[in-house]
A and B are shown apart, each in its own frame.
Chain A
Amino acid sequence: MDTLLSSEGDSQRTQYPYVTGTSVIGFKYKDGILMAADMGGSYGSTIRYKSVERLKQVGKHSLIGASGEISDFQEILKYLDELILHDNMWDDGNSLGPKEVHNYLTRVMYNRRNKFDPLWNSLIIGGVKNGHKYLGSVGMIGVHFEDDHVATGFGNHLARPILREEWRADLTFEEGVKLLEKCMRNLLYRDRSAVNKLQIAKITEEGLTVSQPYSLKTFWNFAAFENPTVGATGSW
Chain B
Amino acid sequence: MLSEAMDSPKLGFNFDLYTRNHMLLTKKGLKPPGYLKTGTTIVGLIFKNGVILGADTRATAGSIVADKNCEKIHDMAPNISCCGAGTAADTEAVTDNINSQLKLHRYHTGRESRVVTALTLLKTHLFRYQGHVSAALVLGGVDLTGPHLYTIYPHGSTDSLPFATMGSGSLAAMAVFESEFREGLSREEGINLVTKAICSGIFNDLGSGSNVDICVIEKGKKEYLRNHLTPNPRTYISSKGYSFSKKTEVLHAKVTPLKELVNVVEVVGDAMEE
A and B co-occur in one complex: yes
Question: Residues of B at under 8 Å CB distance from A?
Answer: 46, 114-116, 119-120, 143, 145-146, 148-149, 158-162, 171-172, 174-176, 178-179, 183, 196, 200, 203-204
- Using CB atoms, name the residue of chain A closest to B201: A161
The one of B120, B162, B179 that contacts A224, using a Cβ cutoff of 8 Å = B162
> Does A132 sit within 8 A of B, measured CB to CB?
no
Which residues 211-236 of A have a CB within 8 angstroms of B? 222-225, 228-232, 235-236
Please state if B176 and A162 are interface contacts (CB–CB under 8 Å): yes
Please state if B178 and A185 are interface contacts (CB–CB under 8 Å): yes
Which residues 149-189 of A have a CB within 8 angstroms of B? 154, 157-162, 164-165, 182, 185-186, 189
- Interface majority SS (helix, strand, loop, mixed), chain A: helix
The one of A158, A164, A189, A229 that contacts B160, using a Cβ cutoff of 8 Å = A229
Please state if B162 and A222 are interface contacts (CB–CB under 8 Å): yes
Question: How many chain A residues touch B (Cβ–Cβ < 8 Å)?
Answer: 25
Question: Residues of A at under 8 Å CB distance from B?
Answer: 154, 157-162, 164-165, 182, 185-186, 189-190, 222-225, 228-232, 235-236
Known: A161-B175, A185-B178, A224-B162. A231 touches B200 (CB 8 A): no
Please state if A189 and B178 are interface contacts (CB–CB under 8 Å): yes
Contacts A222-B183, A230-B145 known; list 7 others, CB within 8 Å. Answer: A158-B172, A164-B204, A186-B178, A228-B159, A229-B160, A230-B160, A232-B114
B165 to chain A, nearest CB (A): 10
Once the chains are docked, how many angstroms separate the CA of A223 from the CA of B46? 10
- Using CB atoms, name the residue of chain A closest to B177: A186
Once the chains are docked, how many angstroms separate the CA of A190 from the CA of B116? 26
Please state if A232 and B116 are interface contacts (CB–CB under 8 Å): yes
